[in-house]
Homo-oligomer: A and B are copies of this chain.
Amino acid sequence: MSVCKNVVPRIPHMLHGGDYNPDQWLDRPDVLAEDLRLMKAAGCNVVSLGIFAWTALEPQEGVYRFEWLEDVMTRLFENGVYTILATPSGARPAWMAQQYPEVLRCGPDGRRAAYGSRHNHCPSSPVYREKTTAINRRLAERFGRHPGLALWHVSNEYSGECFCPLCIAAFQQWLQERYGTLEVLNSKWWTAFWSHTYTDWSQIVPPDKCVNALSLNWKRWVTHQTVDFMQNEILPLREITPEIPVTTNLMGTFPGLDYHKFVPVCDVMSWDAYPAYHDRPEDVSLAVQFSFTHDIFRAFKQGKPWLLMESSPSATNWMPVGKLKRPGVHRLTSLQALAHGADSVQYFQWRAGRGAHEKFHGAVVTHDGSGHTRVFRDVAELGQTLGQLDALVGTSIKPAVAVIYDWENRWAIDESSGPRRERKDYLETCVSHYLPFWQRGIPVDVVSMDADISNYSLVIAPMLYMVKPGVTQRLEEFVKNGGNLVATYWSGIVDEDDCCYLGGRPGPLRKLLGIWSEEIDVLYDDEAVPVKFGAILSKEYHGRIFCDLIHAEAAQVLGEYTGEFYAGRPALTVNRFGAGRAFYQAFRGDDAFLDEFYGALAAELKISGPLGTSRLPAGVTLQYRGDAKHNYVFALNFSAEECSVPLDGINLQDVESGECVSGELLLTGHGSRILQVNG
């Protein structure tokens, strides 16, 4: 296991704290004093300040008011609480929107938005870039040497897009740099379609959905411009405080931005996770999705711990049903993040504001103002637990399995018209291939198609529709060297500009997979085609939604359709290629199929979790984390039922109670335990 250092150098502990808005309470010094007392009681060591405080910091253009912030930071630090200091670009002052309308976004129809809400600045506006740099510079100058400053929190949940003339011009300029000539662009984008051939760069306007390559590159540019905006924000921070790390809080698998592009810009990755484990049938599948996403964040920097920047200590205000967290759930959610590599548990929000849109969002301290609530006690108890986990800080894991989940592939699949409108479900499919490992406690990395995969034993690439340059080579190399690859239907269809490969699907992967896909059937939701396997799988399963009609070329047939007009055609194949193997699942299988398939494969490849390769009780996962000296196992039960996990001779020790656990591991409903492996 790898050994990492703590990602926030000034805090050698698990971070515990949350978003804090003292700027909403400046006329209430009693409240601020009480906050200090309560933070101590809750075991907090960090807060995020100033996220939406721009008007409080710069009430008039060029007039800065930093005294209140200095006062708060200092008093916090004196009380053992570090500051994650935000740049305020997430919401601009009303005066700025009024004076410089260009800072506001335009919609797809070119209309400028009115002032309001948040996260709606134009990423290209020179004025806005200048204003953000100016205030960031002042913040860095004023607080850069403050001993309480632990981390920069740049802006907040970047998102959205702007169609103003500045953005459109910047997009066209970016295209010019990317493609060089219009001839190249017209050819790669296949613009002869519907007479779209461009004869001038200025003719390329973003909202035209009929040229998929245009939509796709617009999305790429939105990411590009957002990262560029962020880099502009960071300039004074890096210059003045090179030793203070930088992050920005992301949003899991948010489809609007390709988060891989933020990795080089951030010193540490962080995200805001709001799982709703509500004693509902969907809780377990929700838990798997969140584990999957946590593993994306752990894999972003090759295993380096990340930060849970926001989570709710209680309910949320924006979900359809803002149900209360059941007993044990707050701890369970928090330990789930730690289990997958987080070095923090942070909340939105420390104290509930009295008015406006988020006044009913969960908070550690509610309008009640006291610490005498169930929620506060849950938080304080977790604070105690986190205080015992210093040895865990900075540790990680190196999985043998990777699932490829790729933002650009998702965009391309979703933007393309056909072969079905609904249920293409790329993300959901990736999660379904991840699930069999989660159910066995086998660690998995979730990576993009551009990742270095040479160190894994098993790589799973569901629906690899787009195959970008270099990908085929890396996959072939991986298999040639003994790796195991699993690919599926709807793969190898297009290149990086959503232009179809000629010469028979799966295009560049045809040689590696040893099959030819002649055509692909898609089914109605209520239809299923039976699939039979030889020796390798015990049962008959069913193909749903997608059934690829393939011919085995070099590959060996492991299963075949037994229904529809394509009965007898291959449904599952394996191709030996060099020292490795490349599997092809021609059909979309359900969870039971994937479970048997990957269970057998894991057993064969001896890829195991803390307790081998058997399935754990439903809703339970175990996750390793540790380093050379420490060997932690997080046991997490996402069901409401008490359950017992047979330990098969393994001895564990409960980190909190010190209790030795052997024979079986008991977990209460929603129970979560931190264990160490002994010997």
Contacts and interface: CB of A to CB of B under 8 A. Distances in A.
9 contacts: A24-B190, A109-B111, A114-B208, A190-B356, A318-B418, A321-B524, A360-B418, A367-B503, A374-B518
Nearest to A212: B356
A420 interface: yes
B356 A211 contact: yes
A450 interface: no
A451 interface: no
Interface residues of A, number: 111
A209 interface: yes
Given A355-B500, A360-B419, 9 more contacts: A27-B187, A59-B197, A59-B199, A95-B203, A193-B358, A194-B357, A317-B419, A355-B499, A367-B505
Contacts of A209: 116-117, 357
Contact of A53 (B24, B195, B549, B565): B195
Interface string A474-514: 00000000000000000000000111111111000000000
Given A373-B518, A523-B321, A356 B200 contact: no
A606 interface: no
B93 A355 contact: no
A277 to B, nearest CB: 13
Contact of A199 (B91, B93, B212, B524): B93
Nearest to A21: B192
A353 to B, nearest CB: 6
Nearest to A204: B94
A638 interface: no
Interface string A286-329: 00000000000000000000000000001111111111101100
The copy count of this chain in the complex is 3
Interface string A176-199: 000000000001111111111111
Contacts of A347: none
Nearest to A355: B190
A602 B92 CA distance: 56
B92 A195 contact: yes
A52 B196 CA distance: 9
Contact of A91 (B194, B204, B207, B375): B194
Interface of A: 21, 23-24, 27, 52-56, 59-60, 88, 90-95, 97-98, 109-111, 114-118, 187-200, 202-205, 207-213, 278, 280, 314-324, 326-327, 352-361, 366-370, 373-375, 416-422, 497-505, 518-524, 549, 565
Contact of A519 (B189, B314, B497, B523): B314
A10 to B, nearest CB: 27
A190 to B, nearest CB: 3
A213 to B, nearest CB: 6
Nearest to A197: B55
Contacts of A499: 354-355
B421 A194 contact: no
Nearest to A59: B199
A432 B366 CA distance: 31
A520 B314 CA distance: 11
B417 A318 contact: yes
A355 B498 contact: yes
B361 A418 contact: yes
Given A211-B356, A354-B502, A55 B92 contact: no
Given A117-B208, A280-B524, A352 B500 contact: yes
A522 B323 contact: yes
